[in-house]
Amino acid sequence: MACFLVSVFLLVLQVHAAPSELLQTGLTLDSTVLNPGLAANFSEDATPSPPPGTSKRTPHSIIIGVRKGGTRALLEMLDIHPEVAVAATEVHFFDWDDNYAKGLEWYRELMPYSYPHQITVEKTPGYFTSALAPERICAMNSSIKLLLILRDPTERVISDYTQVYFNRLENHKPVQAIENLLVRSGALNIRYKAIQRSLYDVHMRNWLRHFPLEQIHIVDGDALIRDPLPELQKVERFLNLPPRIVSSNFYFNQTKGFYCIRSDGRERCLHESKGRPHPSVNGTVLQQLRSFLREHNRTFFRLVKRTFDWQ
């Protein structure tokens, strides 16, 4: 009922928001939020004519996270399916503090053109840990299907650190050893953002306040890396899609060490930033991290009524 009332309120605001207002409310096409060059996609003059019979719609499904859980791999693999249209960018729209109602039309404009028989999928991994996203997505569409891809939370912390480490190196910024971030004054630094993002039970509770568990499909990110097809077949069933993704759509790249995609006569792999080797972590520190996360994992298993093979 709460979602319904908020939805009505937002719809009223949308009706009275002129398109020109969208760029006057602080919803700027900032390169820190969008991919470079995406601003041009917002201008009708800069975009090609859409294919006949297509339109832009708010997503039927959103990959809500988790960061460094495999969201990009999942989106790219779903793009194989002929009845799926994927968004080209992450917009972090539901994290924004202001102008939510007036921005919905702008959000729709960032979605891909799709045919009536297709479903649109967007992915923004930061949504899972956002305090604002669950309520706002519910207000937009209370029956939307959500995809959550998770991996071993300890490995996710290390992967999170690895991404930040390389980003800082590339931008000529100072870096720290992972142990210096994980431990402060001899104790585990639970305020470290990478650890906070791995408290799956904390964030899941927030989503379950707004969506029933049946609307959230959890993809095993570790299993997706080992063998993509079974996980994608589960996603097809969850999204009520006909089975179109097959084993021949994947091949193992020995150089990269993970599966790549083969479809429409083309082969493609994820960006070189994916699959970077993790740093070795001091064994004692690693054990501290695993011990801390273990009880959170147990609570998460109870919430979602399933378990995962996490250390």
Query: Is 31 part of any domain?
Result: no
Query: Is 265 part of any domain?
Result: yes
CA 106 – CA 46 distance, rounded (Å): 16
Looking at residue 131, its pLDDT comes to 94
**pTM of this prediction?**
0.84
Query: Is 85 part of any domain?
Result: yes
Query: Is 311 part of any domain?
Result: no
Res 132 pLDDT > 60? yes
Does 162 appear as a known binding residue?
A: no
Query: Is 183 part of any domain?
Result: yes
Res 128 pLDDT > 90? yes
User: With contact defined as beta carbons under 8 Å apart, do 71 and 149 qualify?
Assistant: yes
Q: What is the pLDDT of residues 187-239, one digit of tens each?
A: 999 999 999 999 999 999 999 999 999 999 999 999 999 999 999 999 999 99
Query: Is 91 part of any domain?
Result: yes
Instruction: Work out the pLDDT band at 311, boundaries 50, 70, 90.
Output: confident
CATH number at residue 281: 3.40.50.300
Q: Tell me the residue range of the domain where 180 lies.
A: 2-16+54-304
Query: Is 33 part of any domain?
Result: no
CA 178 – CA 192 distance, rounded (Å): 11
Does 151 appear as a known binding residue?
A: yes
Split into its structural domains, the chain has a count of: 1
Find how far residue 148's CA is from the centre of its chain. Answer: 7
Choose among 215, 240, 225, 220: nearest CA to 84: 240
Mean pLDDT of 91-101: 76
Is the model more confident about 36 or about 108? Answer: 108
Does 278 appear as a known binding residue?
A: yes
Mean pLDDT over the full length of the chain = 85
**Is 305 known to be catalytic?**
no
Mean pLDDT of 287-291: 97
Does 161 appear as a known binding residue?
A: no
Mean pLDDT of 132-153: 96
Instruction: Work out the pLDDT band at 30, boundaries 50, 70, 90.
Output: very low
pLDDT > 90: what percent of the chain?
A: 71
Query: Is 48 part of any domain?
Result: no
Res 62 pLDDT > 50? yes
Instruction: Work out the pLDDT band at 85, boundaries 50, 70, 90.
Output: very high
CA 177 – CA 189 distance, rounded (Å): 14
Catalytic option among 56, 68, 123, 173: 68
Mean pLDDT of 236-265: 93
